[in-house]
Amino acid sequence: MATAQDVRTLALTLPRTEEALVRDQTKFRVGRIVYVALSRDERSMGFAFPREERVALIASEPEKYFMPVPSDERYNWVRVWLAPLDEDELTELVVGAWAMVVPKRLSADRLAQMEARTVRRDEPAAPVKEDGVGDD
């Protein structure tokens, strides 16, 4: 279960990120471009996401993802409830949103680290020897 503090902790590790309070709402931005915004009650989060993929994302898990407020529909933006997110999913959403607003050369290293971590997690574990012979 993700929390607003998890979002804050993660976002502030990303280069060029600053936290801002705008009209009683916490936002994370690079320069003037906001890539993540917490709802006032901190139960949901808006994040940068390709507009052309938004409908498919929401349709894939409508209990989790939802449309932005009508005034934000023109932007590359979608919203998500924090409670159902695990750490990996939160990281993917926040880092992906951040990568949309920074130069590609800046985001390339972080995205490569995430990919490597995912690949390592998906690899089968080394077999364990039951008799302990040859474990010197």
Q: Which of 11-15, 62-66, 84-88, 125-129 has the lowest mean pLDDT?
A: 125-129
Give the chain's radius of gyration (CA, Å). Answer: 18
pTM of the model: 0.81
H-helix or E-strand spanning residue 48: strand 44-48
Transcribe 1-46 into DSSP letters.
Answer: ---HHHHHHHHTTSTTEEEEEETTEEEEEETTEEEEEE-TTSSEEE
Q: How would residue 20 be classed by pLDDT, with cut points 50, 70 and 90?
A: very high
Whether 87 shows a pLDDT value over 70: the answer reads yes
Give the integer Cα–Cα distance in Å for 116 and 120: 6
pLDDT digits (tens, 9 = 90+) for 109-123: 777 777 777 666 565
How many whole angstroms separate alpha carbon 3 and alpha carbon 9?
A: 10
Residue 21's DSSP bridge partners are: 26
What proportion of the chain, given as a percentage, has pLDDT over 70? 85
Q: Does the structure show a pLDDT above 60 at 13?
A: yes
What is the rounded distance in angstroms from the CA atom of residue 42 to the CA atom of residue 3? 8
